[in-house]
Homo-oligomer: A and B are copies of this chain.
Amino acid sequence: MSATTTPLPKAVIFDAYGTLFDVHSVVAAAEQMFPGHGDALSQLWRQKQIEYTQLRTLADLAGARYQPFWNITLDALRYSARKLGLGLNGAGEKRLMDEYACLSAYPDAVPALRRLREMRAGAGHVGLAILSNGNPQMLDIAVKSAGMTGLFDRVLSVDAVRAYKPAPAAYALGPQAFGVAAREMVFVSSNGWDAAGAGWFGYTTFWINRAGAPAEELGVIPHGTGGGMADLLDFIETLAPPDKSPGRSRHSPGG
């Protein structure tokens, strides 16, 4: 019977921006600077940021068009302010980029990560990682300012391969880091397109649909979907039932 027991995921890999860190926590500062336009600026900024990462990677997978996420984030801010007719000067740019450097974590993020670390100490070893478009320096600051220091085994940046998600080279960083197949890991993202890309690549995927958005029409369905981290924990516990079956014994602690 043990051969048919659902295995624990070997690792849980999180997208960062939008999934752990609230990219729209810049709205308050943006609204203060441009009353009535804070939400529109935040939305367009995020949209252009993602678009620019994808365009640059798509135009040249060899990385010649690659720019670090920080630079692209600034480019996207400049475009968005102009598109909305907002006069954004150097000081304004700096203020909003500073906000972006220290985004708030979603309130359910740290408790869920702590819970996953506890599961790791139980039956089987569950690795925890970030796999993000953010460049290493951005991720370092964001992890620290969100109080997530020490919660991850690995913080993986696509900067290592100069290709943004959903390029396969970016998703490949997960299996490379943990030495296990993508399907044995759960990839968690609040971005529907990212969950789709990870699913295409071969991960077991969980879409945290924080915004209540419709499912993307990309012909690939996440293995799990929910509104927040509690649903993710339920999903993972379904994959890894409590250690009461003899079949669990094949998961040696730390193995």
Contacts from A to B (Cβ < 8 Å): 48, 51-52, 54-61, 65, 67, 75-76, 78-79, 82-83, 164, 166-168, 193, 196-197, 200-201, 213-214, 216-219
Across the interface, A52 reaches (CB within 8 A) one of B56, B61, B167, B218, namely B218
- A78: B residues at CB distance < 8 A: 217
A191 → B minimal CB distance (Å): 11
Taking the closest CB of chain B, its distance from the CB of A25, in whole angstroms, is: 23
- Evaluate contact between A57 and B58: CB separation under 8 angstroms: yes
Max count, chain B CB within 10 A of own CB: residue among A59, A76, A168, A196: A59
A75–B201 alpha-carbon span in the complex (Å): 21
Task: List 10 A-B pairs, minimum CB-CB distance, nearest first.
Answer: A75-B217, A82-B214, A59-B166, A79-B217, A58-B58, A59-B200, A59-B197, A83-B214, A54-B54, A78-B217
The distance in angstroms between the C-alpha atoms of A201 and B197, with both chains bound, is 25
Do most interface residues of chain A lie in helix, strand or loop, or is the interface mixed? Answer: helix
Asked if residues A193 and B61 are in contact (CB atoms below 8 Å), the reply is no
Measured between beta carbons, the chain B residues less than 8 angstroms from A218 are 52, 55-56, 75
A49, chain B: closest CB distance, angstroms = 10
**Known pairs A58-B164, A58-B197, A59-B167 / 13 extra A-B pairs, C-beta < 8 Å:** A51-B193, A55-B166, A55-B196, A56-B218, A57-B58, A58-B166, A58-B167, A59-B197, A59-B200, A59-B201, A75-B219, A79-B214, A83-B213
Inter-chain CA distance A16–B115, complex, in Å, is 52
- Chain B residues with CB below 8 A from A166, complex form: 55, 58-59
Alpha-carbon distance between A200 and B67 when the two chains are bound, in angstroms = 14
How many Å lie between the Cα of A214 and that of B48 in the bound state?
12
Assess A200 versus B60: contact at CB under 8 Å? Given A83-B214, A217-B78.
Answer: yes
Q: Are the CB atoms of A67 and B219 closer together than 8 Å?
A: yes
Instruction: Evaluate contact between B56 and A217: CB separation under 8 angstroms.
Output: no
Specify which chain B residues have a CB less than 8 angstroms from the CB of A82 in the assembled complex. 214
A125 vs chain B, min Cβ distance (A): 30
Pairs across A and B, CB under 8 Å, 17 listed: A51-B51, A52-B218, A54-B54, A55-B197, A56-B218, A57-B58, A59-B166, A59-B167, A59-B168, A59-B197, A60-B200, A65-B200, A75-B219, A79-B214, A79-B216, A79-B217, A83-B213
Cβ contacts under 8 Å, A201 to chain B: 59
B219 touches A168 (CB 8 A): no
Cα-based distance from A225 to B197 in the complex (angstroms): 35
